[in-house]
Amino acid sequence: MNYLRITEALIITRCLAFFEENGIDDPFSKSPDLKRISSALTDEDMKLWAKGEAEAERDTFSDLRIERYFSLLKLFKGDNVLRSLLDLCMADLMHPELGALISYHLGSPVCLHAAFLLEGIPDPEERDILTKAEKASVFCHIERTGSPLQYAPVRIDDRLMAYLEGSDEINPCLSPFTDLFVPGGREAISLNPPYIHKSFIDNGYDFFNNGGQLLLLSGRGGRRFIAKHISLKLDMPFLFLNLPDFMREAKKDIAVIRSALVREAGLLKAGICFYGITEDYLKASGSSELTRLGAELLSRMLLEPVLSSNIPLILCTDVPCLFSNNVISMKSMLEELPEELSFDERYALWQGFKDLYSLPADPSQFAMRYHLNASETSRIVSSFLEKDKVEDYDPDTLFSKLTLQQTKKEEDPLGRIVYSKILLDDVKIQPHLREKLDDVITSVRQSHRILDEWNLRKNYPYGRSVSLLLSGPPGTGKTMTANAIAGELKMPLYQVNLSHIVDKYIGETEKNLEKAFSFAEKTNSVLFFDEADALFGKRSEVKDSHDKYANTEISYLLQRIEAYDGIVVLATNIKGNIDPAFLRRIRYVVNFENPDENARLAIWESCITEDIPKEDIDTAYLASQFKDFTGSTIKSVFLNSCAIASGKGEKLGMIHIIHAVKAELEKTTTVAFTNDALGKYAYLA
């Protein structure tokens, strides 16, 4: 027999001796199996049992069963009554007839009363009963209703016996919402190194190593990661639980679930980490039963019992919070993660992941582009490693898409995301305008170098954004240019829907603007306001409350532009409509004009691609004859002419283009239209 089976046989033998000493003849007459187990003990069994006792004295064990049995006894600090109770429970679980026999002779099943009797204490004090019941609840379940506590049935479950036999499987009542992190385990081996926040890990280790009990990790981005590295450094397992899931399950019986958790931590010599503790969850208000708990009730129901068992506890909370005085009086420490990572921290993250996974990423550029916390960065890297093999995107575009997916959980009503494939070469504009746009692109690409490597960031605490105003008549290429800038930078374009930004209710416009700026900044999108004078127009003289609040919105925009850290593009048909205060804060202004003849020629020629079945087309005539055509007008006319040719099953020719030109001129001419406007090709109309 192994040590546990010997221990069970010994407690059965002790019960036999107790009954005989108290005048019960042949107490096992109706339980021949128990009698057989007792009589089967050999000298070798007793030597093995004695060896286990000696190993416990030296605290060095040759068998995991013996080690775990005595580690459980350590929780009782040498209490023989509790040891007898544990042995009775073990024997009763393996041999249920023992409980029936005890109930038959004593009038009660396996309980504290039976353990007291075996230890020669027939009349224990009430305080002793209460104390031992509390300690016993670590390893067993006590049915506290229906009987005095001394006679309440006591039992252990299969989980405790499995633990004593060597299993580390989590209790089934906890496993649906509990993860065990074990130093040296599979998850620990695959855990990334801590590229940032190393001081939080060191502080947590020192805190618990010096007797600390409660560590609060507040903020967002890497709290569980820090907790796992503290676990590694302490060489101590930790149970990780989502608190809302735990409390939802605990509603069935908080005492049972809580005891199971405390026991599991005790068995595994593990700490506990609760996460999912949001700001709303800590408020003693709200519609759900969970949110009504609040920090105070949470302390009494859960935290105090856990901490009183001397279990290291880590709480991952979104915001710093105050718990009950009993909790705070225990040795606790608060660590607050920064709201936003610095450039150096973001750089360290990307550099670490690049080295670890050979990522096709420039750490400097990615640190500048993506204002993400540690958790978001890690999730994006994991997603990239999964999708890079199957999705046909260049790495920059794929990272950009994944960033948006992480940040944008659902469709954003404030704007839309565009992945532009247009480049500046596709925008046919005058050379001096192209030079200005090239300067804008260069400014964005060199932002990190001049602000961080050249150490200019401290001289520019605000006003670091790359802001561009595109002004000019409709159809001159402003929207296309915004798309081309995003395409050149391989960044998504976040085109704001102004009709959803402006709100009639006081303060709502500012909230919507803040959402738009924050989203674009975090996801490294080009923030694009088309028809910007609707928001950035001149402030008016205050004649009523509407003027006052309208001016307040403009003042907010001024401040937000100053604080913005990305690239923002504004387009307007009339630059004079823009408030002068904005113009002073705009780094680049590009004034578009209707295209000259050379530009028009370039636009016409760019429309005629090799894939189009065509006859000879006189692009020089089209460019010189129709001087008022803008780029968008030319593209619209060309598309309509292609539709005409395709509908007739013909190659595209001048006749189709002249028909489309005529339709456009008739649409825009305010006087009676004549074919003379079509010049030498009027006969085709």
Condensed to tens digits (0 to 9), the pLDDT of residues 53-90 reads 999 999 999 999 999 999 888 878 889 999 999 999 99
* Predicted pLDDT of residue 170: 87
Mean pLDDT of 306-314: 87
Please tell me the distance from the alpha carbon of residue 40 to that of residue 34, in angstroms, as a whole number: 10
Q: What is the DSSP secondary structure assignment for residue 284, as one 8-state letter?
A: S
Last residue of a domain, one of 110, 140, 165: 165
The residue written with tokens 């102004």 in the block is: 498
Reply yes or no on whether the pLDDT at 539 is more than 70: no
Same domain? For 50 and 196 the reply is: no
Q: Could you tell me which of 346, 321, 352 has the C-alpha nearest to residue 336?
A: 321
Same domain? For 539 and 437 the reply is: yes
The amino acid at 73: L
Contact residues for 559 (Cβ-Cβ < 8 A; gap 6+): none
Please tell me the distance from the alpha carbon of residue 657 to that of residue 648, in angstroms, as a whole number: 13
Kindly state whether residue 200 falls inside one of the protein's structural domains. yes
* Predicted pLDDT of residue 168: 83
pTM as predicted: 0.68
User: Phi/psi class of residue 477: alpha, beta or left (left: φ > 0; alpha: ψ in -120 to 50)?
Assistant: left
Question: What angle (nearest 5°) sits at the alpha carbon of residue 535, between those of residues 534 and 538?
Answer: 85
Mean pLDDT of 274-303: 62
Kindly state whether residue 38 falls inside one of the protein's structural domains. yes
How many folded domains does the chain comprise?
5
Lowest mean pLDDT among 280-284, 286-290, 550-554, 579-583: 286-290
Reported as a single tens digit per residue, the pLDDT across 111-125 is: 999 999 999 999 999
Q: Could you tell me which of 359, 428, 364 has the C-alpha nearest to residue 399?
A: 359
Please tell me the distance from the alpha carbon of residue 478 to that of residue 571, in angstroms, as a whole number: 6
Mean pLDDT of 507-512: 79
Reply yes or no on whether the pLDDT at 409 is more than 50: no
Same domain? For 201 and 289 the reply is: yes
Same domain? For 451 and 306 the reply is: no
Same domain? For 179 and 301 the reply is: yes
Helix, strand, coil % over all residues of the chain, rounded to 5? 60, 10, 35
Same domain? For 154 and 13 the reply is: yes
Torsion of CA 244, 245, 247, 250, to 10 degrees: 180
Kindly state whether residue 416 falls inside one of the protein's structural domains. no
Reported as a single tens digit per residue, the pLDDT across 413-470 is: 588 888 888 899 988 888 888 999 999 999 888 877 777 677 776 666 555 778 898 9
Reported as a single tens digit per residue, the pLDDT across 372-386 is: 889 888 988 888 888
Please tell me the distance from the alpha carbon of residue 662 to that of residue 685, in angstroms, as a whole number: 7
Last residue of a domain, one of 296, 313, 336: 336
Angstrom distances, CA of residue 683 to CA of 636, 645, 648, 664, 677? 22, 18, 19, 17, 11
Burial 592-614 (b: 16+ CB within 10 A, else e): bebbeeebbbbbbebbeeeeeeb
Please tell me the distance from the alpha carbon of residue 23 to that of residue 64, in angstroms, as a whole number: 40
Same domain? For 213 and 86 the reply is: no
Last residue of a domain, one of 539, 568, 591: 591
Q: Is the dihedral of CA 365, 371, 376, 380 positive or negative?
A: negative
249 CB neighbour count, 10 Å cutoff: 17
- For β-strands 238-242 and 178-181, DSSP reports them as antiparallel
The residue written with tokens 């801590």 in the block is: 194
What residues form DSSP beta bridges with 142? Answer: 154
Contact residues for 242 (Cβ-Cβ < 8 A; gap 6+): 177, 274, 275, 276
Please tell me the distance from the alpha carbon of residue 563 to that of residue 469, in angstroms, as a whole number: 17
Q: How far apart are the first and last CA of the chain?
A: 107
Q: Which two tokens stand for residue 174?
A: 């906890």
CB-CB contact of 351 with 206 (8 Å): no
Kindly state whether residue 419 falls inside one of the protein's structural domains. no
Same domain? For 188 and 130 the reply is: no
Same domain? For 514 and 561 the reply is: yes
DSSP strand E in 182-290: where? 214-218, 238-242, 271-277
The residue written with tokens 């992190």 in the block is: 181
CATH of the domain at 455: 3.40.50.300
Q: What is the DSSP secondary structure assignment for residue 613, as one 8-state letter?
A: -
CATH of the domain at 619: 1.10.8.60
Q: What is the DSSP secondary structure assignment for residue 235, as one 8-state letter?
A: T
Kindly state whether residue 170 falls inside one of the protein's structural domains. no
Reply yes or no on whether the pLDDT at 282 is more than 80: no
* Predicted pLDDT of residue 281: 62
Same domain? For 26 and 144 the reply is: yes
Same domain? For 448 and 553 the reply is: yes
Same domain? For 582 and 438 the reply is: yes
Kindly state whether residue 90 falls inside one of the protein's structural domains. yes
Q: Which two tokens stand for residue 85?
A: 């109770």
- Read out DSSP for 301-362? IIIHHHHHTT--EEEEESS-----HHHHHSSEEEEE--SS--HHHHHHHHHHHHHHHT-S--
- Give Rg (Cα) of the chain: 38
Q: Which two tokens stand for residue 201?
A: 């890990």
Kindly state whether residue 552 falls inside one of the protein's structural domains. yes
Reply yes or no on whether the pLDDT at 241 is more than 80: yes
* Backbone phi, psi, residue 217, to 5°: -100, 110
Maximum Cα interatomic distance, the chain, rounded to a whole number of Å: 132
Kindly state whether residue 229 falls inside one of the protein's structural domains. yes
Q: Residue 102 belongs to what domain range?
A: 3-165
Q: Which two tokens stand for residue 260?
A: 């199971």
